[in-house]
Amino acid sequence: MTIGIVCYPTFGGSGVVATELGLALAEHGHEVHFITYKQPVRLELLSRHIHFHEVSVPDYPLFHYQPYELALSSKLVDMVKLHKIEVLHVHYAIPHAYAGYMAKQMLKEEGIHIPMVTTLHGTDITLVGNHPHYKPAVTFSINKSDVVTSVSESLKEDTLRLFDVNNGIEVVPNFIDVAKHSNTSYTDCQRDLMAEPNEKIITHISNLRKVKRVVDVIEIFDRIQKKIPARLLMVGEGPQKDRCEQLCEEKGIEDKVVFLGNSSEIDKILCFSDLFLLPSEKESFGLAALEAMASGVPVISSNTGGLPEVNEHGESGFLCEVGDVDNMAKHALEILSSEETLRRFKAQAKEIAKRFDTKKIVPLYENVYKKALQKSKQ
Ligand code: GMT
């Protein structure tokens, strides 16, 4: 199959999922064309089945806002025709599903019928898409997609509750290459680069936006470090970083918290982590939690959105109410209380991550494409 993938190329869950999916599809022998404004961060182009086409928006003095959707839909039309793309898979409804639908309609005028699969990722529904300024366009694009998928049951329910949807939604969860994450053991990853031998390494990875409740991460860590020697690794960049750095200073823990910025060495960081914190306000799935679990890192998370579908309470970690930092710290200390308990949680986290192995999930997307192709032929 020849598949066109549209996604955000930046650090962020939806772009990571789209990129990993494209790479896995290429391994299955499909031709995969990424169409976006920049090469996705995790995209390795060293495959003859992977192609990247940049969408550029020429500047013009009249434009206050650059018409990206227009440039994207035009590029999609050109690429579908040039590379004989058979199915378009757009990740994140805004504005990709809208632009995809326009491309579909333009192609239809020329007798080309291309099915469009839209994958909803989370904030495109729960945070941004739901805003009255976008809602009619998002509802329209969801209803006009040939197949709609969501990354969790919870996101499906949110979509049906928040939008007037007259289309089916299939749940295809996020996935992880378990084999890749299993290549490392708990001891061989130079943890001495980051901490003293007696210190536990606690990690948080996100785009440090308000929705991630990163201030809670600092609060939880502060409670942990009062009881046991520990170090916090904050990975990512975002608007809440300054607030977090300031809070660490106020608490006098700045020498125990390392802000690493965006990193392309997530596997390595997770390899020497003992615990992962994800206390988000909203989280449709929590890919970062799954990545941690696959690396054998137990997770303390909030119980919002799709997180209970990923992180199993008392097994791969613990789930607490949003904002309950005391309880999160209590459970964190429980996991870190003895080497034996930590080893058990690590093993359990790894085991649960196997439910979301690439090998199990990518074929679900292949079926979705087949279904979309059949639908467009009807
Ligand atoms: O919230 C982020 O980190 C970015 C965002 C995105 O779309 O790039 O992530 C969303 O999609 C991910 C992949 O499907 C999910 O794992 C995240 O839970 C989801 N984020 C939220 O719902 C807040």
Q: 116 with 33: CB under 8 angstroms?
A: no
Q: Is the CB of 283 under 6 A from ligand 1?
A: yes
Give me the sheet containing 147-150, strands edge to edge: 50-54, 31-36, 2-6, 87-91, 116-120, 147-150, 169-171
Confidence at residue 125, expressed as pLDDT on a 0 to 100 scale: 87
Q: What angle do CA 108, 113, 116 make, to 5 degrees?
A: 105
Tell me which DSSP letter residue 291 carries. H
How do residues 200-250 score in pLDDT, each as one tens digit?
999 999 999 999 999 999 999 999 999 999 999 999 999 999 999 999 999
Looking at the DSSP bridge assignments, the partners of residue 205 are: 235
Q: How far apart are CA 90 and CA 276, in angstroms?
A: 30
Q: How far apart are CA 89 and CA 96, in angstroms?
A: 9
Average pLDDT over residues 284-301: 97
Domains and CATH numbers, the chain: 2-175+358-377 (3.40.50.2000), 178-356 (3.40.50.2000)
Confidence at residue 130, expressed as pLDDT on a 0 to 100 scale: 79
Give me the sheet containing 299-302, strands edge to edge: 257-261, 230-235, 200-205, 275-278, 299-302, 317-320
Looking at the DSSP bridge assignments, the partners of residue 91 are: 119
In single-letter form, the type of residue at position 62 comes to L
Q: How far apart are CA 220 and CA 240, in angstroms?
A: 16
Distance 288 CA to ligand 1 centre (A): 9
Beta carbons within 8 Å of 57's beta carbon, 6+ residues apart: 37, 66, 67, 68, 71
Q: How far apart are CA 247 and CA 359, in angstroms?
A: 42
How do residues 297-309 score in pLDDT, each as one tens digit?
999 999 999 999 9
For the chain, the C-alpha Rg in angstroms (whole number) is 21
Q: pLDDT averaged over the chain? A: 94
Confidence at residue 124, expressed as pLDDT on a 0 to 100 scale: 85
Q: Is the CB of 285 under 6 A from ligand 1?
A: yes
- Residue 45 banded pLDDT, cuts 50, 70, 90: low
Distance 244 CA to ligand 1 centre (A): 21
Average pLDDT over residues 331-351: 96
Confidence at residue 183, expressed as pLDDT on a 0 to 100 scale: 59
Query: Which class for 51: exposed (0-12), middle (13-18), buried (19 or more C-beta within 10 A)?
Result: buried
Confidence at residue 154, expressed as pLDDT on a 0 to 100 scale: 97
How do residues 135-189 score in pLDDT, each as one tens digit?
999 999 999 999 999 999 999 999 999 999 999 999 999 999 998 877 555 455 6
Read off the tokens for 182.
């299993």
Read off the tokens for 291.
């990545």
Read off the tokens for 99.
């632009």
Distance 317 CA to ligand 1 centre (A): 20
pTM of this structure: 0.93
Distance 13 CA to ligand 1 centre (A): 5
Tell me which DSSP letter residue 312 carries. P
How do residues 79-111 score in pLDDT, each as one tens digit?
999 999 999 999 998 999 999 999 999 999 999
Distance 106 CA to ligand 1 centre (A): 30
Q: Is the CB of 146 under 6 A from ligand 1?
A: no
Which residue is it, tokens 């998002």?
A: 138
Confidence at residue 375, expressed as pLDDT on a 0 to 100 scale: 85
Q: 178 with 352: CB under 8 angstroms?
A: no
Question: Ligand 1, closest atom to CA 282?
Answer: 23
Higher-scoring residue by pLDDT: 267, 193 = 267
Minimum CA distance residue for ligand 1 atom 5: 13
How do residues 106-133 score in pLDDT, each as one tens digit?
999 999 999 999 999 998 888 887 788 9
- What percentage of the chain reaches a pLDDT higher than 70? 98
Q: Is the CB of 174 under 6 A from ligand 1?
A: yes
Closest CA to 318 of 306, 334, 305: 334
Distance 282 CA to ligand 1 centre (A): 9
Question: Ligand 1, closest atom to CA 287?
Answer: 16
pLDDT at 376 over 90: no
Average pLDDT over residues 335-351: 96
Average pLDDT over residues 341-347: 97
